[in-house]
Structure 1
Amino acid sequence: MRLSGLHSRLRSAEQQVRLAAEREEDARTQAGQATHDAQHRFAAPAPPPRPAAPHFEAHYFDQRVSHDAAVPSNETFKQRYWFDASHYRPGGPVFLLDAGETDGADRLPFLSQGILRILSEATGGVGIVFEHRYYGESFPTPDLSTDNLRFLTTLQSLYDGVHFAKNVQIPGLDLTAPNTPWVYYGGSYAGAKAAFARKLFPDIFAGGIASSAVTTAIIDYWQYYEPIRASAPTTCIDRLVGHTQLIDTVLALNSTLLTSSLKTYFGLPNITSDADFVNALALPLGSWQARNWDPKVGSKRFDLFCQYLTNETLPSASFDVAVPSFLSSAAPSLLPKDPRSTLTSFSHYAEYVKAHIAVLCPPDVAQDDCFGTDEYGGDGLDEASWKSWSYQFCTEWGYFIGAPPSADTPSLVSRLLTPEYTGKICHKAFPPGKLNRVPDLPDVDAINQYGSFNLLYPRLAFIDGSEDPWIYATPHSPSAPNPQREDTDDEPFKLIPGGVHHWDENGLPSGQLEPPAIAHVHADEVRFVRKWLAEWRAERDAATEAQGKGWWQRERGRWE
């Protein structure tokens, strides 16, 4: 089935890239080879081998299929969660980590050596990883048909957290809200949910930490590539912009022979659609978001991509640097006066795509079936890895990522990647049902009504990375009315220099040193969370005292 196969492979591309990078790194280390493409290490002694991650047992909560009276259902489903109470002290808080748009098991490292462990250890709290409905094993419906996806909304999932906090029974502990302080943590989409939860349900959630929180839904999110263009090595970006312009020029000639030669040169000869072809060429840019301060967590693949484009450490003799026939015959005037350096880079670009993109399609599968976007199929739960989030961005969030709308803005990707192209999945993958249909355009107002760029609330922290491709959808966005607003302990507003996507979420095992910027933000989180908890307890004590006084006044009135 076309593209459902692509998404099932590429939806987890970040994880695949990271694991591949780790294998490459291990192989080089064992062989004693130079690691020319390794991420720069922090100036610290070599850490000891990491211990095996603790095993956390999965638990299941009886969650309502629908919290909305307008979408009625009296049924429940099993929603998965994990917890660690090893740091708990009586009176301690609960830290709820929203797993967001992935299998909740992917977030378990944060219980043992990430943000949940850091905050729980510092406050005597309990950490919980809470799986999002329609991901992992937490499905309220038997399949993912358009009708059965009607229960997949941001608001429904927010109410999942509320119902869970008020009713979950942690074995041996009574930690339900509002009698226990709950702090909601999330990264990216889940970070936006953490912000919304704190604002909408302040009586349930005593605080919220919104990391890389995309609080603004945007239909045409071409700005995804702007932090890459601004922060990646200049030579690499200049090369990519030039190569992209050249490819667009060749495709615009509408010559079957030249287009076929171009696709063959990049190892993708059997992709029928020109837009599908250039969409495949854009895939390496996703590895920018996969970078992390911890090389065991992040990917170094973007560095490798740039090394290909800038001819660093790669033997030119192994590549064909002759003028490709489709260039010499198509547009010789486009060739630079001294073409060798440019053509070498172009040849390396093609070689990278052959070696790292084309191979994502198995030999026995047609390239159109891997990279095409004309057909989508499959309503089974095994399609959730691509279909659940696709439904969410098609209905509420947008984020159709492509080229800038203005020709004056240099583009890292082909101008063929328009919102119409990147958004066509919405109507091909989700045909109208009897009870539900996908809107013509995502209903971004359903999200932006909660505050968008201006969202702020007491005891709500925003933590972003300065090089995050999603920063233009956060309150730190250069497009926001006040991206430099004050950073206080009550309303923290922190930007990690050089940081990318929710870099505060992961951590190192106890006793190992984090880089200064990460250690600093973790220390800040511990400090302001402790202050929040003290405030919450003072508010509770004041309310209890006021309630007691009211009782005595009523009793005294009966006798006087």
Structure 2
Amino acid sequence: MAFQTCGMSLLCKVTLLFLFSLCALGEGRYKGFRKFDQVQAAGRRAAFEEQWFTQKLDHFNGADVREWKQRYFVNEAFYKPDGPVFLMIGGEGPANPAWMQDGTWLTYAKKLGALCLMLEHRFYGKSHPTADLSTDNLRFLSSRQALADLAHFRTVVAEARGLTKRKWVAFGGSYPGSLAAWFRLKYPHLVHASVATSAPVHAAVNFPEYLEVVWRSLASEDTECPLLVKKASDTLLERLKDPQTYDNITKDFNLCSKLQLQTEMDSAYLLETLAGSFMDVVQYNQDNREFEGAVGTNITIKVLCGVMGDASLGEPYARYAAVARLMMDTFSMKCVDANYTNYLRDMTNTSWDGPAAGGGRQWVYQTCTEFGFYQSTDSPNQPFGGFPLPYHVKQCADFYNVSAETLAEAVAQTNEYYGGYDIRTTRIVFPNGSIDPWHALGITQDITPDLPAVFIKGTAHCANMYPARSQDPLQLGLARDHIFVLLQLWLKQ
């Protein structure tokens, strides 16, 4: 999802997707080392002035006349009168204007003479439809409302700018990638084609496949690496059963407060927090987010496996702790807040100034009411333990009073509404990377010739969206070229 915005935990509640930018999905976990919601690309904001569009609060209730202002950006540098219109879809974090200055979609725009627009997602960034983030207000946060925002924006802007006869192409990565696909599916008269990068189009309450891909991705660097991670994780699990080890664990992982495990949620939160460093690094392995100001992108699978394979550091458990210290040093964190009570406090703060308002409270709400996406340890074919599905599901009840039954019904309705893997329309391309755990919920094989998949071996989440660089693997460059050829073909249809 995810996937994301920042409290002060090791996996600081990141707004990744949490993105900071447009490609996130730390999904479900909204904790992470990356402070994407706080990252801005230096000097880039001034280049593109933020603009505001009037939207309805509820597109599906004609009697509700309430309105709000949605943020968007425009780049007219490449536009030619007969060119298409490219619409970049914002996701579960602030829309980053760095995307208006760089990125593969702008390379395509320059070649095709496209006008480029980017619309921030409701309830994220500066796009605040309601006075606060109370659960009652969050009922207006959904992918369906977001698609209706896109449709109304496209209709009004097209009329105002004389673009009704131009062909519109939607772009998005991660959750916005799903929105790009669904925009074409649900509003085919408004969007001519879509590029749905790293898009998890199938909703699932339980998503243990995420950690299975993490295992395989670590093994692609060193077959021993995931085995060492599993040994370390198993050792930590055993030590957590003995309160006499808590002081040492507190010291080993530099926890912000003395470890106290009063409930199963406390231990699960700690274990997930520590596992998150591996999960996030795998998801974004060797990407090119430096252009938008992201830090820590030099930490790769190779780096983590190097630490885990360094016998001079001690047993695998000690190496696991060394990985945590490496992440803390990289992100200038003084300690690891692995206290579930603190997380609960942050996530139930409904103020726009709250510690989870950068996207954490909003995104987890969407997982509880639409998508699931919970990266549980329920599969034996992955390296971690201790944060099973019930741990994730209980957060829905704790944060929003959403029951397990309601969650399951909502996820089923999402797949019924959009089609899941069985999407049926035309002119959508689905790029995915083999390293990226999210490809397990995406389209990795052609559905039809008009719904092609581009499966890029050895690349991670949204890799094809980032600016090209000399060290990119050949297959990534070929994928970008293939997508451009498809756009050229479709724009002639």
1:144 Cα deviation from its structure 2 partner: 0.3
Identify the residue that residue 413 of structure 1 maps to in structure 2.
384
- How many angstroms apart in 1 are the aligned matches of 2:12 and 2:422? 37
Give the aligned length: 451
Partner Cα distance (1:516, 1:365) in 2: 39
CA contact (8 A) 2:91 2:175 kept: yes
The equivalent position to 1:196 in structure 2, one of 182, 195, 214, is 182
8 Å contact from structure 2 (residues 132, 350) kept in 1:
yes
| TM-score (normalised: structure 2) | 0.82
**Residue in structure 2 matched with residue 491 of structure 1 by the alignment:** 451
* Equivalent in 188, 198, 208 of residue 212 of structure 1: 198
CA distance in 2, matches of 1:498, 1:372: 34
Which residue identity does 1:276 align to in structure 2?
Answer: Y
Query: How far is the alpha carbon of 1:258 from its aligned partner?
Result: 3.3
Q: Is the 8 A contact 2:376 2:389 kept in 1?
A: yes
> Which residues in structure 2 correspond to 1:139-538 (within 5 Å)?
139-168=128-157, 173-176=161-164, 179-232=165-218, 233-251=222-240, 254-268=241-255, 270-272=258-260, 273-285=266-278, 286-294=280-288, 296=290, 298-311=297-310, 316=312, 319=313, 321=314, 343=315, 345-357=316-328, 368=339, 372-373=343-344, 376-382=347-353, 383-405=357-379, 409-414=380-385, 416-431=386-401, 439-441=406-408, 443-449=410-416, 450-476=418-444, 484-485=445-446, 488=449, 490-508=450-468, 515-535=473-493
Q: For 2:73, what is the secondary structure of its paired residue?
A: strand
Contact 1:292/1:500 (CA < 8 Å) preserved in 2?
yes
Q: What letter corresponds to residue 187 of structure 1 in structure 2?
A: G
Contact 1:8/1:386, CA 8 A, preserved across alignment: no
Name the aligned partner's letter for residue 438 of structure 2: W
SS at 1:205's partner residue? coil
Question: What is the distance in 2 between the residues matched to 1:402 and 1:386?
Answer: 18
Residues 454-484 of structure 1: CA distance to partner in whole angstroms, max 9, x if unpaired? 22421111111111110111122xxxxxxx4
Question: For the Cα contact (< 8 Å) 1:361–1:370, is it kept in 2?
Answer: no
Task: Give, as a single letter, the amino acid of the residue that structure 1 aligns with 2:213.
Answer: P
1:166 partner amino acid: T
Letter of the 2:13 counterpart: L
Name the SS for the 1:81 alignment partner.
Answer: strand
Kindly provide the amino acid, as one letter, of the partner of residue 104 in structure 1: A
Q: Distance in 2 between matches of 1:440 and 1:421?
A: 14
Q: State the shift of 1:244 in Å.
A: 1.6
String of CA shifts for 1:321-364, please: whole Å, max 9, x gaps: 4xxxxxxxxxxxxxxxxxxxxx2x33222233245359979769
CA distance in 1, matches of 2:175, 2:273: 25
**Separation in structure 2 between the aligned mates of residue 359 and residue 503 of structure 1, nearest angstrom:** 22
Runs of 5+ consecutive residues of structure 2 not aligned to the other structure = 1-5, 21-31, 37-41, 261-265, 292-296
Tell me which of 52, 69, 90 is aligned to 1:78.
69
Whole-angstrom CA distance in 2 between matches of 1:267 and 1:364: 5
Q: Could you tell me how far apart the structure 1 residues matched to 2:340 and 2:331 are?
A: 12
Q: 1:61 to 1:437 in 2, by over 3 A?
A: farther
CA contact (8 A) 2:372 2:411 kept: yes
Q: Kindly tell me: are residues 168 and 395 of structure 1, through their superposed partners in 2, closer, same or farther at Cα, counting changes over 3 Å?
A: same
Whole-Å separation in 1 of the counterparts to 2:484 and 2:285: 25
SS in 1 for 2:133: coil
Larger radius of gyration: 1
The Cα offsets for residues 164-202 of structure 1, whole Å up to 9 and x where unpaired, read as 00002698x3224xx221111111111111111111111
Question: What residue in structure 2 maps to residue 65 of structure 1?
Answer: 57
Are 2:11 and 2:34, in contact at CA under 8 Å, matched by a contact in 1? Answer: no
Residues 464-520 of structure 1: CA deviation (Å, up to 9, x unaligned): 1111110111122xxxxxxx43674x33211111111111111148xx786432322
Partner Cα distance (1:438, 1:60) in 2: 39
Cα drift, residue 442 of structure 1:
6.2
Map 1:30-179 onto structure 2 (within 5 A): 55-69=47-61, 72-105=63-96, 108-168=97-157, 173-176=161-164, 179=165
Secondary structure at the aligned position of 1:161 is classed as helix
Q: What's the offset of the Cα at 1:4?
A: 5.8
Distance 1:500 1:170, change over 3 A: farther
Secondary structure (helix, strand or coil) at the match of 1:137 reads coil
Structure 1 position 111, deviation (Å): 2.6
Contact preservation (8 Å) 2:433, 2:463: yes
Distance across 1 between alignment mates of 2:326 and 2:271: 16
| Cα distance between partner residues in 1 of 2:209 and 2:471 | 34
Query: 2: distance between equivalents of 1:442 and 1:114?
Result: 38
Deviation of 1:296 (Å): 3.6
Distance verdict in 2 for CA 1:63–1:505, change over 3 Å: same
Over 3 Å counting, the alpha-carbon distance change for 1:370 and 1:120 in structure 2 is: farther
How many angstroms apart in 2 are the aligned matches of 1:456 and 1:299?
A: 39
Which letter maps to 1:189? Y
Using the aligned pairs only, state the percent identity: 24
Secondary structure of the equivalent of 2:258? coil
Q: What is the identity, as a one-letter code, of the residue corresponding to 1:292? A: Q
User: Given the superposition, is the C-alpha separation of residues 87 and 495 from structure 1 closer, same or farther in structure 2, using an over 3 Å criterion?
Assistant: same
2:14 maps to 1:11 = yes
CA distance in 2, matches of 1:279, 1:197: 33
Give the deviation of 1:437 after TM superposition. 12
Q: TM-score, normalised by structure 1?
A: 0.73
Match of 1:420, SS state, is helix
* Structure 1: gaps (5+ residues): 21-49, 322-342, 477-483, 536-560
- Give the partner amino acid of 2:303: L
Deviations 1:122-145 (A, max 9, x none): 211111111000001111101000
Q: For residues 4 and 377 of structure 1, do their structure 2 counterparts lie closer, same or farther at Cα, with a shift above 3 Å needed?
A: farther
**Equivalents in 2 of 1:63, 1:525: separation in Å?**
32
1:300 deviation in Å? 2.0
Q: Secondary structure at the match of 1:80?
A: strand
